[in-house]
A and B are shown apart, each in its own frame.
Chain A
Amino acid sequence: MPILKFIARRLGLGLLTIFAVSVLIFLVTQAFPSDPAQAILGRETTPEALDALRQELGLYRPAITQFSSWLFDIVRGDIGKSFVTQMPLSEYIAPRVGNSLFLMVVGAAFSIPISIAVGAFSALRRDKTFDKTTSTVSLVLAAVPEFVMGTGLILLLSTSVFHVLPAITLIDAGQAPWSDLSGIVLPVLTLVLAVTPYVSRTMRASMIEMLESDYVEMARLKGMSERTVLVRHALPNALGPVFQVIALNLAYLAGGTVIVERLFNFPGIGSALADSVRARDLPAIQFLTLMIAGVYVLMNLLADVATVIATPRLRTSLK
């Protein structure tokens, strides 16, 4: 199967990318001015205690040894202990991954269909009222940073104007996120509003290109119904370029939502990352960053595979 070979090749490249990222992460964290031992023990401590802890953490080993043992542990599935709590990191991170995944899935479940529908419909109604309205709204939404948008939504729906939704998520990390659905409405809404403009604008541009294409004109000249023209001829070809944008946005939803999670106090990996940075919890920072990088690589891989499968010319030229 050429497609499996293709996936294997891309997977290999993806692993290489992640390795490169791991080197980068390690170098950056090495360059941190703060001393992990100092960070753990606080200011009131003795040099002996510091020395002992550094010894224990292996901070005296050469950088290359530290790096390889860190990476080797991760590959083995041991992501280490938190500097701060001394608990295994996996216990801290696992539920948060679940929460973020839930946020991503719910966000994607709304934003992708909405943005594809809005984009396609704007293309059909090009330069008419619907298109002009959605274009303007998209541009405004894309221009507003999400913490402003989130704050605006809180003002609108939880505090100043209406009081219909809680301003923050009141679930614990260990609790299932769906146990308090009203608490995730605002974070999801913010994410949907942040992501939709990009995907819908790409969809609109792509769809317009397809609608102007020779083969869509030809389909009309063959007497195809408008429905067939759109659903069979225009839409599948228009989706190809959109996959890439969707993938980037999904990755963003999964890992890059630090600000949104922080704003709504949502216990996901975004807020976990923010907390770890504040606590100078190196192992947590390193692992979370690596994981987010992994999500980006995976999403791009999925998008490439989806594009290849959806494009016969690419699919048949695989060797």
Chain B
Amino acid sequence: MSEGLRIVDLRLDVEATGNDIVDQVTISIAKGKVLALVGESGSGKTTVGLAVLGHTRRGVSINCGQVYCGDTEILSLTESDQRKARGHLVSYVPQDPSSSLNPALRIGLQLREVLEAHNFGSSDEARKSRIREMMEEVLLPTDDDYLRRYPHQLSGGQQQRVGLAMAFACRPSVIVLDEPTTGLDVSTQAHVLATIRQMTSKHGVAALYITHDLAVVADIADEVAVLYAGRVVEQGVVKDIFTNPAHPYTRHLVAAAPDISGKKEVVGLSGRAPSPGKRPVGCAFASRCELATPECQDSFPKEVAMSASHHVRCIKVGQVAPVLLASKGASNVRDQGSPVLEIKGVDAGYSGVTVVHDVSLTIRKGECLALVGESGSGKTTVSRAIGGLHREWTGTMVFNNVELQRIARQRSPENRRGIQYVFQNPYGSLNPRRTVGDSISRPLAIIGTDKSEASKAVLDVLEKVNLPGSYANKYPDQLSGGERQRVAIARALVSKPDVLVCDEVTSALDVLVQAAIVDLLSDLRKNLGLAMLFVTHNLPLVRSIADEVAVMSEGRIVEFGPAESVIGDPQQAYTKSLIMATPSIERSMR
């Protein structure tokens, strides 16, 4: 087995403070293999990925370590030799292709300049034919007209294929892929993943695949390295990691990941990973770990070999936290509640163009209805119309036996109170100049609740979303993403709604946080009898949270039914293709 990429004892620091961002990272990847570097946001995975190319972002410096691409050690090369290696020996596929392609340059030029920079091909003709060859391999058109396009004239999937073509253009021996499918629809993602898999094995490229999505890992990777607070805590072949995770953190990650192949209650975990400068001497996970004992804080655990290919850094290897052992089987046996919101024959559009056709849905008390679909399917338009945020729609919506007006301002206070909306991005939906308490009590002020009563209500809802009452005085920037989303949910709950519209509420969150939010929403639904419209593109999650599912495609509901049967036994071709395209841990492990 010949080595493609070997990272040895890599450490990168925050330049200003000397605190480590990542430390003791040692990873090796064989030619033609894919290693997934898994971690939550802030764990340092992109920092590692960029360091493989000898690149650091502003304010970050490489403290020590070696990166071997084949026989070449990258970090000790001169600046100009590193430049020659980048794109040639080792290349990079960025997370967001729409912002990583230069908007002012035609894609043909952006492809050609890599070849030119590395003197690849002896003539313009040779380079031209190489570009065509690459475009063919990533399944894009090869004609000159296509190459003369600008990035914005391509779809997201096409842009990412151009990114792949660029990365493979000079036949590198190592490639770093930084969440290349985040933001793509599942069917596009499936194509891109297939292309990556095929190209790496065909050309014998060692691939470092950075991601937070475990289902994608199961689908594409041969090996996995789990990064927590800048250190690799577990490393092994993909089967070991999913079927026999040894580190408590890995166990939690796996337990928190919803899966499309089976109904699974996802388990969340509170707290967050310590950031650079706040990391303890000992195991960084100890503060969140159910198994932690004082020894955990003494020193960073030594590597324990579970097998020749499976290593873990934990002194409690083999023990499993009780919370993960308790089998929480399918619990939501639901009794048909009375309908709270019925929408019939709703068409909606933008400036005269109808994008949603004849949508009818019924949401019952205590029930969670998931509205799923790919981007552009019209699901958000429907949810915004229900929330009274979208003006252009026709049809009827009946809420508690009262017909709803088109937009929120025209609706009665009672109707406005009864339907509350939680937005996708908790970073954008909370006013940074208001304290949490202010934001939450705002809806109460509008209906004229007096101050002392309002502050009592704030404490009450904060408790419902599992946040301490002291958070009322904090500002949003003092909170983590998960905490912000809890605040946003609390703000929706404070006016005691009947229907909660959740628009992709977990898609900006890490998987452990997502699981915790899903858990919270399920509890609220049970305890408060809330009806919930859960809008998402995340099919596996639907299985964990929803009672019923409506699948939308091109503005129409194409399939509707109980979550179990729609996802377990889809009837429509579109639903089937969606489910097939969704990567699954269980399916991959079989």
- Tell me, yes or no, whether A binds B: yes
Contact indicator A214/B94 (Cβ below 8 Å): yes
The answer to whether the Cβ of B412 comes within 8 Å of any Cβ in the partner chain is no
Q: Is the CB of A236 within 8 A of B104?
A: yes
A221's nearest neighbour on chain B, judged by CB, is B92
The 8 A CB mask of A201-229 against B (1 = contact, 0 = none) is 00000000000111101111111110010
**Known: A215-B99, A215-B101, A237-B103. Is A224-B117 also a contact (CB below 8 A)?**
yes
The docked-state distance in angstroms from the alpha carbon of A187 to that of B152 is 46
Q: How large is the interface on B (under 10, 10 to 19, 20 to 34, 35 or more residues)?
A: 20 to 34
Question: Are A223 and B150 closer than 8 Å at their CB atoms?
Answer: no
Q: Give the total number of A-B pairs whose CB atoms are below 8 A apart.
A: 78
- Supposing A215-B103, A218-B94 touch, asked if A225 and B117 sit within 8 A by C-beta, the answer is yes
Q: Is B100 an interface residue (CB 8 A)?
A: yes
The minimal Cβ–Cβ distance linking A231 to chain B, given in whole angstroms, is: 12
A312 to B104, CA, bound (A): 6
Q: Mark B96-139, 1 if CB is under 8 A from A, else 0.
A: 10011111110000000110011000000000000000000000
Q: Which of B87, B104, B114 has the most CB of A within 10 A?
A: B104
Q: Of B57, B91, B104, which contacts A222 at CB under 8 A?
A: B91
Residues A275-319 near B (CB distance < 8 A): 310-313, 316
B36 → chain A, closest Cβ, in Å? 20
For B55, give the chain A residue with the smallest CB separation: A221
Separation of A214 and B97 alpha carbons in the complex (Å): 9
A219 touches B118 (CB 8 A): no
- B85 is an interface residue with CB less than 8 A from chain A: yes
* Residues 224 to 265 of chain A near chain B (Cβ within 8 Å): 224-225, 228, 232-233, 236-237
Q: Are A237 and B87 within 8 A (Cβ)?
A: no
A223 contact from B58, B84, B96, B103, Cβ within 8 A: B84
Contact A219 B104 (CB under 8 A): no
A221 touching B150 by the CB < 8 A rule?
A: no
Q: Which residues of B contact A220 (CB under 8 A)?
A: 55, 83, 86
Instruction: Encode B151-182 as 1/0 by CB contact (under 8 A) with A.
Output: 01100000000000010000000000000000
State whether the Cβ of B53 lies closer than 8 Å to any Cβ in chain A: yes
Which residues from A are CB-within-8-Å of B86?
Answer: 220-223
A225, chain B: closest CB distance, angstroms: 7
B50 to chain A: closest residue by CB: A221
Chain B residue contacts of A310, Cβ below 8 A: 104
Asked whether B33 is an interface residue with its Cβ less than 8 Å from the other chain, the reply is no
Tell me whether A212 and B58 are in contact (CB under 8 A). Answer: yes
Residue of A214, A232, A311 near B96 (CB, 8 A) is: A214
> Please, how many angstroms separate the alpha-carbon atoms of A214 and B96 in the complex?
8
Residue from A213, A219, A222, A312 within 8 A of B152 (CB atoms): A312
Instruction: Flag A175-214 by CB within 8 Å of B: 1 or 0 each.
Output: 0000000000000000000000000000000000000111
In angstroms, how far is the closest chain B Cβ from the Cβ of A274?
Answer: 44
What separation, in Å, do the CA atoms of A223 and B99 have in the docked complex?
A: 18
A16 CB to nearest chain B CB (Å): 24
Tell me if B525 is interfacial: C-beta within 8 Å of chain A. Answer: no
- Residues on the A chain within 8 Å of B231, using CB: none
Tell me if B486 is interfacial: C-beta within 8 Å of chain A: no
Asked whether any CB of chain A lies closer than 8 Å to the CB of B11, the reply is: no
Which residue of the partner chain A has the closest CB to B57?
A217
- B88 on the A face (CB < 8 A): yes
Give min CB distance, A175 to chain B, whole Å: 45
Known pairs A312-B152, A316-B150; A222 contacts B100 (CB<8 A)? no
Q: Are A225 and B105 in contact (CB under 8 A)?
A: no
CB distance from A318 to the nearest CB of B (A): 13
- Give the residue name and chain of the B residue nearest to A240 (CB): B104
Please tell me which one of the listed residues B55, B99, B105, B150 contacts residue A232 in the complex, with CB atoms under 8 A apart.
Answer: B105
Please judge, given known A-B contacts A313-B150, A316-B150, whether A222 and B99 are in contact too, CB under 8 Å: no
A222 touches B117 (CB 8 A): yes
B108 to chain A, nearest CB (A): 13
Q: How far is the CA of A311 from the CA of B86 in the complex (A)?
A: 28
Bound-state Cα–Cα, A225 to B87, Å: 12
**B residues within 8 A CB of A312?**
103-104, 150, 152
CB distance from B452 to the nearest CB of A (A): 47
| Cβ < 8 Å to A, chain B residues 56-100 | 57-58, 83-88, 91-92, 94, 96, 99-100
Q: Which residues of A contact B58 (CB under 8 A)?
A: 212
Question: What residues on A are CB-neighbors of B53 within 8 Å?
Answer: 221
Interface string of A13-34 (1 = CB under 8 A from B): 0000000000000000000000
Contact A237 B85 (CB under 8 A): no
A222 to chain B: closest residue by CB? B87
- In the complex, what residues of A have CB within 8 A of residue B166's CB? 222
30 A-B interface contacts by CB (under 8 A): A214-B94, A215-B99, A215-B100, A215-B103, A217-B100, A218-B92, A218-B100, A220-B83, A220-B86, A221-B50, A221-B53, A221-B87, A221-B91, A221-B92, A222-B87, A222-B92, A222-B117, A223-B83, A223-B84, A223-B86, A224-B83, A228-B117, A232-B105, A237-B102, A237-B104, A311-B104, A313-B150, A313-B152, A316-B150, A316-B153
Chain B interface residues toward A at CB < 8 A: 50, 53, 55, 57-58, 83-88, 91-92, 94, 96, 99-105, 113-114, 117-118, 150, 152-153, 166
A-B pairs, 4 with minimum CB distance: A223-B87, A223-B86, A222-B87, A214-B99
Interface contacts beyond A221-B86, A311-B103, A312-B150: sample of 18 additional A-B pairs, CB < 8 Å, sorted by A: A212-B58, A217-B94, A217-B100, A218-B94, A218-B101, A221-B53, A222-B91, A223-B84, A223-B86, A223-B87, A223-B88, A223-B117, A224-B113, A225-B83, A228-B113, A236-B104, A311-B104, A316-B152
